[in-house]
Amino acid sequence: MNVKKLKIYPKLLSIYNNENFQSNKITLNKSDIILRTLDLKFIAKEFLTKKNKIYFDNLNIKFYDETSLLVSLENIKFTNFGFKKNIVDGNIFGKEFKAKVNKNLNKINFKIHKSGVNVDISLDEKNNKDSINGVFKSKILNTNLKFNFIYDEKSINIYNSFFRSQNLSFENNNLIVFEPFLDIKSNYKINDIDIEIFNKFKIEKLLTYKNLLKQINSKNEINFNSKKFSRNFIDKLDLKFDLAYGRLNYSKNISISNNIFNCKGRINLLEEFPLLFFDCSINSNTKRDFFKNFDINVKKENNIFNLNVKGNLSVINNKINFKEISINNNYKASNADLNYFKEKFENILFEDNFIQIFNLKKIKKFILEIS
């Protein structure tokens, strides 16, 4: 801790008693503290439980893990006595916040003004010195999140997690290991989703964090089962994707009205113009049932429909290359056919951006063009 201005208010009898000096109050102005995350528990206990009166004005705190800055709190005002006892005011991310800590130091309420952010943290009274355990609850505008956590210097285990917003709700468990490198294992169970949410996803923005992507190793699994009588286009989804040094491998299995879609592939997110390689298949008991999902009527077509497609697409340049297309083992696209499909795909599905290839209206238009 570096303090630029320190005021000590001694007890009257201590003025001439240097060997047993005691103070009524200490004021620290314009202070800077650098902490590791686990130090917070020790520092909070020292300041919040002291009987001596302490007042911080214009305190700046930086939290680090072993090497990296995690978050900065600035212009903090705090006192452990009086009307504002155990209330922390300051700035985070350029916005004003207020935090309240109860007298047992196991419940914290945190609000960021004019942002709709409200967080409650309940700490386990049986916490040991090597970890912080508790329950996290937050409300951000119309979004609710709740989870249990166990945190130490090397990892954080998030479990019993539930997230709900207007467009998405899911349950998940995460284990995030910080040392010796960032490693994440996640499992998500999606309860409800509005596919329009994907229209807000900007892959170009994700690709600007290449330095971060280099440092992440993760194994992730996402599962979704549509509720009965829902309007979801997808009945069931099983998606797995692993990320290591910017290289992502994926496999997915989708069920739509008893039609099975399988895809696997890879992409290197660190490349200047990343290419998504794919190997996909569609298996349907009848061609009529498959096309019915896209409101396309097929007459006198009740045969099994198996489609296999291989190729790659550029997520930045909106370009696609088909390497192989076959149907029912009795049709294999020629080079001329592959070029024709490429042209129609880019003109219709890649008209706007990468995410639009999942637009059902565009898929229907594409199928009608090539049928």
pLDDT band at 219 (very low <50, low <70, confident <90, very high): very high
Strands 53-64 and 23-36: what pairing? parallel
Using an 8 Å Cβ cutoff, are 269 and 246 in contact? yes
Measured in degrees and rounded to the nearest 5, phi and psi for residue 55 equal -135, 125
Could you tell me if residue 136 is inside a domain? no
How far from 71 is each of 37, 63, 132, 139, CA to CA, in Å? Answer: 10, 5, 18, 20
Residue 119 located in a structural domain: no
The tens digit of pLDDT for each residue in 256-297 reads 877 888 989 999 999 988 999 999 888 888 777 777 777 777
Task: Identify whether 266 is part of a domain.
Answer: yes
pLDDT the model gives residue 254? 85
Cβ proximity of 83 and 103 under 8 Å: no
Residue 335 predicted with pLDDT over 90: yes
Q: Is residue 322 part of a domain?
A: yes
**Is residue 217 assigned to a domain?**
yes
| Confidence class for position 371, pLDDT limits 50, 70, 90 | low
Q: How far apart are the C-alpha atoms of 305 and 254, rounded to whole Å?
A: 16
Q: Give the contacts of 67 (CB within 8 A, at least 6 positions apart).
A: none
Token pair listed for 132: 């912080």
Q: Could you tell me which residue, 154 or 309, shows the higher pLDDT? A: 309
Bigger pLDDT: 213 or 221?
A: 221
Domain of 209? 194-371
Compute how many other C-beta atoms are within 10 angstroms of the C-beta atom of residue 349.
20
State what percent of residues in the chain have pLDDT above 90. 30
pLDDT at 365: 67
Q: Could you tell me the sign of the dihedral formed by the alpha carbons of 165, 167, 173, 177, in that order?
A: negative
Residue 80, both tokens: 């452990």
Closest CA to 88 of 71, 66, 73: 73
AA letter at 58:
N
- CA-wise closest residue to 244 among 272, 273, 222, 267: 267
**338 DSSP 8-state letter:** H
pLDDT band at 125 (very low <50, low <70, confident <90, very high): confident
> How far apart are alpha carbons 337 and 14 in whole angstroms?
95
Decide if 28 contacts 4 (C-beta within 8 A): no
Distance CA 299, CA 284 (A): 16
Q: How confident is the prediction for the chain on average, in pLDDT?
A: 83
Q: 29 or 232: which carries more pLDDT confidence?
A: 29
Query: Is the model's pLDDT at 348 over the cut of 80?
Result: no
Question: Number of structural domains, the chain?
Answer: 1
pLDDT over 70, % of the chain: 85
Report the pLDDT averaged over residues 17-35. 85
Examine residue 310 and state whether it is found in any structural domain, yes or no: yes
Q: How far is CA 245 from the centre of its chain?
A: 18
Is 188 part of a structural domain of the chain?
A: no
25 occurs within a structural domain: no
Closest C-alpha among 1, 9, 11, 40 to residue 26: 9
Rg (CA), the chain: 29
- Give the rounded distance of the alpha carbon of 121 from its chain centre: 19
What's the pTM? 0.74
Measured in degrees and rounded to the nearest 5, phi and psi for residue 280 equal: -125, 155
Please tell me which residue, 86 or 180, carries the higher pLDDT value: 86
327, 328, 331, 335: CA torsion to nearest 10: 30
